[in-house]
Amino acid sequence: MSESDLRPERPVRPGEPLIEVSGLKKHYGGDGVFAGPPVKAVDGVSFTVKRGETLGLVGESGCGKSTLGRTLIRLERATDGEVLFDGEDITTLSGRDLHKWRKNAQMVFQDPQSSLDDRMTVGEIVREPLDAHGWGTDNDRKTRVLDLIQDVGLQDEHYYRYPAQFSGGQRQRIGIARALALEPEFMVLDEPVSALDVSVQAKIISLLERLQDEFDLTYLFIAHDLSVVRHITDRVAVMYLGKVMELGETEELFSNPSNPYTQSLLSAIPVPDPTAGDHRITLPGSPPSPRDPPTGCQFSTRCPAKIRPEGYDLSEDVWDAIERFREIVRERSRIDLGVPDLVKRRVGLFSRYDDIDHTLEDLFADLDLPPEVEEIIDGAANRVKAGRPSEARKHLSSAFNSVCDDKRPDFHEVSGSGRQSYCHRHGREYEDVGPVIERRTK
Ligand code: ADP
Ligand code: MG
């Protein structure tokens, strides 16, 4: 074997799809009698990655970014859906075909401290994928490793050193060299600079940009630092609770986000200017459990632009309080799921139902509730106190559910440049989202 066995020379056509993802799901667990519902880490996402681009992937911690990245390159097996890589569905590959395919796609991990084996020399680490794929002769491999070490800005003499002797930035360079060894077309960069000092971050980012040009690489760049994403990516996908909420050209999306979740996320960037703090949305509550995601829109429990049910005339403050109350009741009902009553009594979970009065006090004491709304809230609270939180949850749903609770939105095209956003507001029958921030600030 020789170097010609690596990537076949083909005319590079930037912009055409390299990866086409449709209906992709990755669920963890859920099998077995005592397992409880599965964790829906990735729950039905569809998008394309274009050849030669850097696609950003952002979202709060736990929303499924790493799982999506790992599933795209077959470090995880998809639960459902399709990943076409150069037209071939890789979710069903196995055995030798899978092994052969693996050289096309590699990953750079977030934590350079734990992702390298400290018992191996730098040379051995970078060489390992070449060995695993039986690449070239012994001598070819050594030459290639030395080239790679130089490509990532390290020196020949580092070949025989151990990673423990290196700084975080240098360790990340080693990880990148290793990922490049088999000339992949596609790399998943999973928060590659998050664990590094700010001064080092810029150097690693410019290294990644240079390597992309030099080797015609396509990147999925996962990050939670939005300023890094804005700087380095061509397009960006915004993820929440296993779902892609919005996807589009980076600059356009950042300057004019369409989806309420993107708007919330962008306005939550910590800004040094204290006067800018006025425009920040603090998202109420925390994301629901991926074991028990909302039936309708994943973001419905926290959405500042949620469509309200007809027949009520309530202020946004009251709606906020109602949604937070519903969230608390939902949490209680989750405890109810799966844990037998006897166990619950023994561990004292029932006693936690008593503090529902405090919750009511905290949420509603300063608000003016119309009597019919108060009656619904009290009805739910009484069911919680009686140890029937699931009933309380249903009681609240039948009174306060809107389309956002009941129905999954469609992924709507929202601009001429191919931006897509997952929100009922884009449907013809509803007013458009508009700038949520203006709606919120009096
Ligand atoms: P992110 O990278 O956005 O922080 P992850 O993809 O790591 O999110 O995790 C998404 C969800 O899947 C989380 O709820 C996490 O706890 C869960 N998860 C991730 N990996 C596993 C696993 N191997 N087994 C079970 N649950 C997992
Ligand atoms: Mg992650």
Q: Is residue 152 part of a domain?
A: yes
| Model pTM score | 0.88
Q: Which residue has the higher pLDDT, 15 or 86?
A: 86
Q: Which residues line ligand 1 (CB under 6 A)?
A: 28-29, 39, 41, 59, 61-67, 290
Query: Do 210 and 331 lie in a common domain?
Result: no
Residue whose CA is at the smallest distance from ligand 1 atom 14 = 62
pLDDT at 442 (0 to 100): 32
Query: Of 203, 233, 263, at which residue does a domain stop?
Result: 233
Residue whose CA is at the smallest distance from ligand 1 atom 1 = 62
Residue range 112-168, pLDDT digits in tens:
888 899 999 999 999 999 999 999 999 999 999 999 999 999 999 999 999 999 999
Counting ligand 1 atoms within 8 A of each CB, the residue from 28, 61, 107, 194 with the most, and so the one to mutate, is 28
Lowest mean pLDDT segment, chosen from 35-39, 98-102, 323-327? 35-39
State the Cα–Cα distance between residues 333 and 322, nearest whole angstrom.
16
Lowest mean pLDDT segment, chosen from 21-25, 108-112, 196-200, 266-270? 266-270
| Torsion of the alpha carbons at 166, 148, 133 and 175, rounded to the nearest 10 | 30
Lowest mean pLDDT segment, chosen from 216-220, 347-351, 416-420? 347-351
Residue whose CA is at the smallest distance from ligand 1 atom 17 = 41
Q: Is residue 144 part of a domain?
A: yes
Lowest mean pLDDT segment, chosen from 56-70, 242-256, 274-288? 274-288
Q: Which residue has the higher pLDDT, 62 or 32?
A: 62
For residue 37, the CA-to-ligand 1 centroid distance in Å is: 15
Going by pLDDT thresholds of 50, 70 and 90, the confidence category of residue 3 is very low
Query: Do 8 and 138 lie in a common domain?
Result: yes
Residue whose CA is at the smallest distance from ligand 1 atom 18 = 41
Atom of ligand 1 nearest to the CA of 63: 3
Question: What Cα–Cα distance (Å) separates residue 227 from each residue in 44, 230, 392?
Answer: 27, 5, 42
Query: Do 83 and 192 lie in a common domain?
Result: yes
Average pLDDT over residues 328-348: 64
For residue 270, the CA-to-ligand 1 centroid distance in Å is: 25
Q: Which residue has the higher pLDDT, 330 or 6?
A: 330
For residue 29, the CA-to-ligand 2 centroid distance in Å is: 18
Query: Do 197 and 328 lie in a common domain?
Result: no
pLDDT at 12 (0 to 100): 59
Domain of 221, CATH number, reads 3.40.50.300
For residue 71, the CA-to-ligand 2 centroid distance in Å is: 13
pLDDT at 428 (0 to 100): 81
Question: What average pLDDT is seen over the chain?
Answer: 88
Per-residue pLDDT at 348 exceeds 90: no
Q: Is residue 182 part of a domain?
A: yes
Lowest mean pLDDT segment, chosen from 64-73, 185-194, 216-225, 346-355? 346-355
Q: Is residue 266 part of a domain?
A: no
State the Cα–Cα distance between residues 166 and 120, nearest whole angstrom.
13
Q: Is residue 429 part of a domain?
A: no
Query: Do 71 and 218 lie in a common domain?
Result: yes
Looking at the 3D structure of the chain, how many domains does it have?
2
Query: Do 195 and 72 lie in a common domain?
Result: yes
Q: Is residue 95 part of a domain?
A: yes
Query: Do 332 and 214 lie in a common domain?
Result: no
pLDDT-above-90 percentage for the chain:
68
pLDDT at 334 (0 to 100): 76
Residue range 10-60, pLDDT digits in tens:
555 677 999 999 999 999 997 777 777 899 999 999 999 999 999 999 998
Lowest mean pLDDT segment, chosen from 143-157, 164-178, 345-359, 412-426? 345-359
Instruction: Name the residue range of residue 74's domain.
Output: 3-233
Query: Of 198, 233, 268, at which residue does a domain stop?
Result: 233
Q: Is residue 30 part of a domain?
A: yes
Atom of ligand 1 nearest to the CA of 76: 23
State the Cα–Cα distance between residues 53 and 39, nearest whole angstrom.
31
Counting ligand 1 atoms within 8 A of each CB, the residue from 39, 289, 291 with the most, and so the one to mutate, is 39
Query: Of 204, 233, 262, at which residue does a domain stop?
Result: 233
| Torsion of the alpha carbons at 222, 15, 85 and 47, rounded to the nearest 10 | 60
Q: Which ligand is nearest to the CA of 39?
A: 1
